[in-house]
Amino acid sequence: MPVRNLMSSAVRLTALSAAMAAALMCGSARADDYTDIAQLLKNGKTEQALQRTDTSLAANPRDPQMRFLRAVALTNLNRTEDAVAALRQLTEDYPELPEPYNNLAVIYARQGELEKARAALENAVRNNPDYAVAHENLGDIHVRLAYQSYAQARAKGGRAANLQPKMKLLKEVLQLSSTAAKPAQPAASAPVAAEAPARGAPKP
């Protein structure tokens, strides 16, 4: 191979190595951002966390992890409509991620929209069958739906002798599960999803 070609190959390799190093440094800095923001959320410094996510998203608006963190902050600030909009957009842009569906379900459950919550959680477990939080939440939603169905049956003249014991049992289960769905909060040590993942973090 001519010397000139060898030299040009070396230049390309050097440039590639530099690019990879820069990407790793950028990824490390972003991971630090995720960790810092997750810690702010954990410590109740939600406004600060939201400001940090907005600053980061101004530079990288499609970052799914940062968008998820922002949705968590909005939820914690009781900006429910904004949180729902943010989570829905995440499910549209990254339909393979289970966490946005889970946290949407949490909000729906708190609003009493149990069918919407069920549908969202079914999407979450379909995307990640090992997602324990979503499975637990889905179980809680099924219990609440069952209780509602029995209550409607009783109101429409169903046999109280059959329905009352079932309702009593379900009520006890609901009290054990604390009726409210559990949202997935980002762990400070493990970001939900860096960059745009092929698959990808939230419990009601």
Compute mean pLDDT per 10 residues along the chain, 204 residues long, and list them.
Answer: 32 35 46 87 93 94 94 95 96 94 93 94 94 91 88 84 80 69 48 32 42
Helix (H, G, I), strand (E, B) or coil at 86: helix
pTM above threshold 0.75: no
Residue-level pLDDT at 13 = 34
Sign of torsion over alpha carbons 65, 69, 75, 80 = negative
- The residues near 147 (Cβ < 8 Å, ≥ 6 apart) are 167, 170, 171, 174
| Conformation bin of residue 110: beta by default, left when phi > 0, alpha when psi is -120 to 50 | alpha
Q: Quick one: which of 41, 42, 43, 73 has its CA closest to 57?
A: 73
| Residue ranges covered by each domain of the chain | 33-176
Residue-level pLDDT at 173 = 77
Give residue for tokens 């799914």.
Answer: 64
Q: Quick one: which of 113, 129, 108 has its CA closest to 204?
A: 108
Residue-level pLDDT at 165 = 78
Residue-level pLDDT at 76 = 93
Residue-level pLDDT at 189 = 30
**Topology at the third CATH level for domain 33-176:** 1.25.40
